[in-house]
Structure 1
């Protein structure tokens, strides 16, 4: 056998092994499941029912969609751990930047409480920085950015702790 034939044989054998290994792959059906989320801010909690455990963290988006197909129901998006509002207040800060990471100066950042009533806004600095102080803990807020020529997809933030470096990206 030539070197080329040996290499071809090895490649064919490797492909055959990969194809055969897929015969033994199967999806789970029943049993315990565990879902873990990523975080923006510190903290979290756990919710358990039967064999299902969901560990949640705070500072995540509260948006999502529900997709049902009996006998299972799955909520896509981020899971929000509900806490009672407290008298504590924190700050939310970050930058407004373009997709390339360039600052967007003099853009208006608006913070609206989703439970009603609370609305405030800030103008970004020449380097795109913004900051909100005195924000009530345990609430969800809508963040919106207004610029002259750029667009922004609104974000929902659940506040449980100080949030720093919350960068908001605008696009054209």
Structure 2
């Protein structure tokens, strides 16, 4: 899937074992950035073996139709972010979306453009409704969702724990068809 509306085209590519080294570099480079917003990964993730095992697990879940793991890449085929669709319910046509964009690529519309690509693709595959969660203080993520057609549904208290404290998130939903 490719976005060509702008001078900085993006593609969504299914995660692949061939991406292991580049994904390790991306995740390592952005570790401190991501750890501010989401619970940190285990330390053994940050090795070629750890990332390879992560990819293998995600691809197994993909084969079982439980997950769609995308890499967001720029025109130079550099990973600039990730977008995963989880909790897929084919009967209901629903899924949850989560995304992360590398620090060097924030404020460039990456998440919004990638989400537009993904929504179009998922609608073609029969998805009817997407859900997403954004931490209450993560205004940037909330803007991505609302500008992409998502509406806030409710606040979910104690959604997760981050750095020893409970965080609450806003649940969003978007009707695709």
TM-score, with structure 2 as normaliser: 0.21
TM-score, with structure 1 as normaliser: 0.21
Structure with more strand by fraction: 1
